[in-house]
Amino acid sequence: IDTLERLAGISPEKLVEAHGTFHSAHCIKCKKEYSQEWMKERIFDDVLPECDSCHKLVKPDIVFFGESLPDRFGSCVRTDFPRCDLLLIMGTSLVVQPFASLIDRVPDTCPRALLNMEKAGVTHDLSRRGEGLMFDSSGNYRDVFVGGATDATCLLLAEKLGWAEDFLKLQQPDN
C-alpha cells in the first residue's frame, strides 16, 4: 500500500497491489479519482478529504478490513499461478488469508522455495490436509526452506545465478 514498488520503478502492469495503494484515491460516492499528491496535501493539512464534485469523503484506494480485494488480485491468481514454474516465497508468516493459500495454487510440478527467518506454511500447521509446504515430510519432492535474512538470502541466490552485479546495482540509491 505504501507505493514503494512504484517508487522503485516497477511498472504498474507488473504490480498486484493486493491490499490496495495510496497511489490513488476515489470518492466513496461518485468514484471521482484523485491523485496521491492531492490526498497527501489534505492529510498533512489536517483537512478531511472531500470530493469537489459531490462533497462526499475521498478514500485512498487501500483495502480496509472487511473490504474486497481489488479485482486485479483475483484475476492474476487465476491466470498467473497455474503457469508458475518456480514459486519464491519471501519474508512471510503465511498466516493471513487469502495470501497464505496462494502457495497451493501453483501446479504440483512447480518447485516452491521459502526464503525466510523461520519455516512457515508447513502442512501440519495448516487446518486442511494436502495443503502447505512439506519441507520435512517424506513425500516432499519440491519444497525447499532457505533460512536467514531475506536480503542476504536474495544476494546469495543472485550470486549463485550469476546475477550479483545486477542485483547490487538495483540496490544503489540512484536506481
Give yes or no for a contact between 144 and 135, defined as CB atoms under 8 angstroms apart.
yes
Cell of 175: 536506481
Beta strands in 30-86 (DSSP E): 33-35, 58-62
Q: Which amino acid type is present at position 160?
A: K
User: Euclidean distance between the first and final Cα of the chain, in Å?
Assistant: 21
Based on its alpha-carbon atoms, the radius of gyration of the chain, rounded to whole angstroms, reads: 20
Query: Which one from 19, 23, 26, 124 is the annotated catalytic residue?
Result: 19
How wide is the angle at C-alpha 149 spanned by C-alphas 145 and 153, nearest 5°? 65
Q: Residue 96, SS3?
A: coil
Exposed/middle/buried for residue 114 (C-beta within 10 Å: 0-12, 13-18, 19+): buried
Annotation says 26 is catalytic: no
**Which residues does the annotation mark as catalytic?**
19
